[in-house]
Amino acid sequence: MALEQFRLDGKVALVTGGNRGIGLAIARLFVEAGAKVMVTGRSLTADAQELCANDCAAWVAGDVTDPATPERIVAATLDRFGGLDILVNNAGIADSGDFHDFDDARLAAINDTNFVAPFRIARAAIKPMLKKQSGVILNIGSISAEVANQPQLQVAYNASKAAVHQMTRVMAFEYASRGIRVNALAPGYVVSDMTKGGIANAAWNKVWTENTPMGRFGQPEEMANCALFLCAPASSYVTGTVLTADGGYTTH
């Protein structure tokens, strides 16, 4: 049945930053689609606690910038659910400000969270996938990888997401012949804790909305729908791609 290709029955997924925002929506939808989901983040939110009350989801705490975290959260997933078929590298932070004042500590925080951590977590997750010659990695990138945002200035964030997109393409090339697909999702402006300050700022809100042809922000659930497609057998011939979901932001 073709529609079954959109389900994840029998699959085990690890979702970083699955405790809130886009990651939580992805974790919830994956459980609904039949997957077992290991949810990770630094803080166990009430939403994540509720999701993990279901036998199909479990929680492991971890700061992705800690070099020990990637191997530990992958091991926790294998221990709990007996495998790892899907990794969603979603955890991320944003920071904006003038390039000439962006100090090393802020640069390191962005780079360590948004690029180094996904690299390390994918490196840890791909080992069990290689044993099975099967797996899917989805990296959450951003339209910021492709454009200069306005009105906020955020060179470091944009460069970190560009690195994620390129990591995606090159990993896809390296592992395509070994049954492992690697794709990225590039959201536009989506309602979450990350954007709530900008959405509440009338001047920023106006620019973001006017630059989005659909005239509205995306919802985390709309990103989760795209993530499900990219992680399900339905996208079996898709690898090395960046799926943009931005209400048309990057059309102009």
Residues of this chain that interact with ligand NDP (CB under 6 A) are 17, 19-23, 41-43, 63-65, 90-94, 113, 140, 142, 187, 189-190, 192-195
- Shortest distance (Å) from residue 117 CB to ligand NDP: 7
Q: Which residues contact 153 (CB under 8 A, 6 or more apart)?
A: 96, 97, 98, 99
At 153, phi and psi to the nearest 5?
-105, 130
Closer to ligand NDP at the Cβ: 148 or 176?
148
Query: Between the CA of residue 89 and those of 11, 167, 211, what are the distances in Å?
Result: 16, 12, 27
Measured CA to CA, the distance from residue 139 to residue 109 in angstroms comes to 18
Closer to ligand NDP at the Cβ: 10 or 67?
67
Closest by Cα among 146, 183, 185 to 168: 183
Closer to ligand NDP at the Cβ: 7 or 106?
106
Q: Which residues contact 169 (CB under 8 A, 6 or more apart)?
A: 240, 242
Burial class (CB in 10 A: 0-12, 13-18, 19+), 31: buried
- Shortest distance (Å) from residue 19 CB to ligand NDP: 5
Closer to ligand NDP at the Cβ: 42 or 169?
42
User: How far does Cα 3 stand from its chain's mean position?
Assistant: 24
Q: Please give the torsion angle defined by the CA atoms of residues 240, 87, 228 and 50, in that order, rounded to the nearest 10 degrees.
A: -160
- Shortest distance (Å) from residue 229 CB to ligand NDP: 17
Closer to ligand NDP at the Cβ: 175 or 249?
249
- Shortest distance (Å) from residue 64 CB to ligand NDP: 4
In sign, the C-alpha dihedral spanning 155, 157, 160, 162 is: negative
- Shortest distance (Å) from residue 1 CB to ligand NDP: 32
Tell me, yes or no, if 157 is annotated catalytic: yes
Q: Please identify every residue annotated as catalytic.
A: 157
